[in-house]
Structure 1
């Protein structure tokens, strides 16, 4: 009698991708270090390894007429004999346009060894003629600063596992958020209505109460709204309340087209106020993150006042860092928002000036 056996296995290889920006302030002051000498970025982690960018202002080896950039495993956090397989895209950022340009982007991944930390190898680094780098038209150097962007993709170690046959049952992804989102749009089974700025929203008490302690107290506590079928909401825009409901039902942030407002950033400000009002902390953090990534000098004072009023310390710190990194305190003082902030929240300005001064000294 013949017994036949059958087995299977699977090899899985994954990758991890990360980006690090290395800003060199005072470019003219580091020229003259000597060929092969470099300044080093802070350590950053990608794919479970520590990495560093090295910048050679006077070139390296046979590239004396160039400036050179390399990326390597950081020996300070490396393990003896550790190697990593990765591909890197080293770029110089045009500070006039904000667009990066690659100076080293090998087609295939390379092997990195921490023993060769910050040694320049043409295959693992890039070079550009110093004359081209320093041309004003190139936009690479502005206010004596240079920005290097490194996009690193680490090929993680392959894993081999035994697999079963067709007996494996695949489980479909959860569609709970989609179903609740449809429930909000269909208004089926709604038991309370909110009136906001002339618009009405039919919703479900139990869902709002489960997501917000403020709604819970309002709808099931001793507040007068408990027995009302239509609740008036003052001092809130309909677009912000609509976005708030979308998050409550789906735990996802509405897209730009779903906010119903041409000024997306302004809607985010209103949504942050709504999230704070109803104690929806995760939504409040998301709004802070969006505003922190879209700071502009013209509206910075308005954002600062908003952060102070609603106790958004992370957003306030982002504003202060923006002022310090751009060194544009004079530009801020020229805005109308600064005048309003000076009149209504002088303590905020004092805090900003103190923290900005400390950041510039570090």
Structure 2
């Protein structure tokens, strides 16, 4: 007779604490001009019961010519017991990221696997990013750089528990890639059935995709009066900039803002303004909100009046509210009134100006409560 057999199981799960510190470096060019090995230090922050800080070297380090051409970043752990520095080992992983100041999204540039981290020296990279590429990127805007350090501290005492054994059959399902497929459809021009001539540039697309994403395209292609428009082989559009129309198609097919590498800050803002106008014309509200949010981040005393006109013209409530709050906060109204944009607003759009001043007054009263 065969002996009975038991089967047991347990699961060991690491205990982790994760946190992110955002280090904003204003006046980046001044820090970068200090010379090799000059560093700046973040505030101390606590993650997983341990204190940390970041050292950034905008000019790079002098360890080699290649290192000097890159911005460097290191993570340090603060010693809490000076007599036991060598024994103070903490297991942790971390990464450094740069924030794209046009979209607000961060990108991991250096990732470090779990290691035993002491307090004797810093952990990081001498080559976070090439300084020349950084100057031309969207990470550096208005002489400001934002670095994120994401730290995960791993406990030395993992959680262990008994687990039941049950037959399992798992099918690994890949993540959805519809936006990638639609992007390929646009790029490869498969099955295109509509052509647009936007000033001197020609674009092709698919009517059904445009109609699904835009109520205006839906009415043009499938509405009651669509027959005449549908028969045309080429649709001419004069009041949209080609770069904005290209970005509009990218958003319709992929649901994201098109990459704007190779453009300086002013050119990117001009594209976003034109894209806001195109989003309003074709009734794509989510894109209007994204454009409005990006433009709000670029507000200053010189351009806020111009942005207000843009917000009213294209019914962008988030941009209008952002402009009003900007003017009302920190007593900026005097600087705004001295700008050329305000003078133009006063002469060309007096009704808008009256409405804005009423909203600014209400906003200032709410700040004082």
Q: What is the TM-score with the length of structure 2 in the denominator?
A: 0.59
**Unaligned 5+ runs, structure 2:** 32-39, 51-79, 81-148
8 Å contact from structure 2 (residues 213, 252) kept in 1: yes
Please report how far the alpha carbon of residue 106 of structure 1 lies from its aligned counterpart in structure 2 after TM superposition. Answer: 4.2
Aligned pair 1:243/2:183, yes or no?
A: no
Distance 1:165 1:254 in 2: 46
* Offset at residue 241 of structure 1 (A): 0.4
Report the equivalent of 1:104: 44
Q: Deviation per CA, 1:169-228, whole angstroms, max 9, x where unpaired?
A: 221111111111011011111011011121111111111011111101111221432211
Deviation of the 1:355 alpha carbon = 3.0
Q: Secondary structure at the match of 1:297?
A: coil
CA deviation profile, 1:150-174 (whole Å, cap 9, x unmatched): x99999xx99895877732221111
Rounded to whole Å, the distance in 1 between the matches of 2:174 and 2:320 is 42
- Bigger mean CA deviation after superposition, 315-324 or 328-337: 328-337
Residue 289 of structure 1 is aligned with which of 279, 290, 293? 293
Q: What CA distance in whole angstroms lies between the structure 1 residues aligned with 2:349 and 2:297? A: 23
Q: What are the equivalent positions in structure 2 for 1:1-362 lying under 5 Å apart?
A: 1-9=3-11, 11=13, 17=19, 102-106=42-46, 108-109=48-49, 162=163, 167-221=169-223, 222-223=225-226, 224-257=228-261, 263-357=267-361, 358-359=363-364, 360-362=367-369
- The Cα shift of 1:349 comes to 2.0
Instruction: Provide the C-alpha distance between the structure 1 equivalents of 2:172 and 2:166, rounded to a whole number of angstroms.
Output: 12
Structure 1 distance, partners of 2:26, 2:187, is: 45
Counterpart Cα distance in 2 of 1:231 and 1:320: 39
Unaligned runs of 5+ residues in structure 1 are 20-88, 111-122, 124-150
Contact 2:13-2:160 at 8 Å conserved across structures: yes
Q: For residue 195 of structure 2, give the secondary structure of its aligned residue in structure 1.
A: strand
- Looking at structure 2, the residues matched to 278 and 183 of structure 1 have their Cα atoms a distance apart, in angstroms, of 21
SS in 1 for 2:302: helix
Q: How many residue pairs are counted as aligned between the two chains?
A: 253
Q: 8 Å contact 1:7–1:164 — kept in the other structure? A: no
The alpha-carbon distance between structure 1 residues 205 and 12, as it changes in their structure 2 partners (threshold 3 A), is farther
Q: SS at 1:201's partner residue?
A: strand
- Within 2, Cα distance between the matches of 1:159 and 1:191? 59
TM-score by length of 1: 0.60
What's the CA shift string for 1:28-49, capped at 9, x where partnerless? Answer: xxxxxxxxxxxxxxxxxxxxxx
How big is the shift at 1:244? 0.5
Deviations 1:293-314, CA, capped at 9 Å, x for gaps: 2212221111110111222222
CA distance in 2, matches of 1:256, 1:219: 30
Matched residue of 1:275: which SS? helix
Instruction: Provide the C-alpha distance between the structure 1 equivalents of 2:220 and 2:182, rounded to a whole number of angstroms.
Output: 22
Cα distance, 1:330 vs structure 2: 2.2
Q: Kindly state the Cα deviation for residue 11 of structure 1 after the two structures are TM-superposed.
A: 3.0
Q: Deviations over 1:120-168 (max 9, x none)?
A: xxx9xxxxxxxxxxxxxxxxxxxxxxxxxxx99999xx99895877732
4+ runs deviating over 6 angstroms: 93-100, 151-155, 158-161, 163-166, 258-262
In the TM superposition, what is the alpha-carbon distance from 1:18 to its structure 2 partner? 7.4
Q: Is the 8 A contact 1:194 1:200 kept in 2?
A: yes
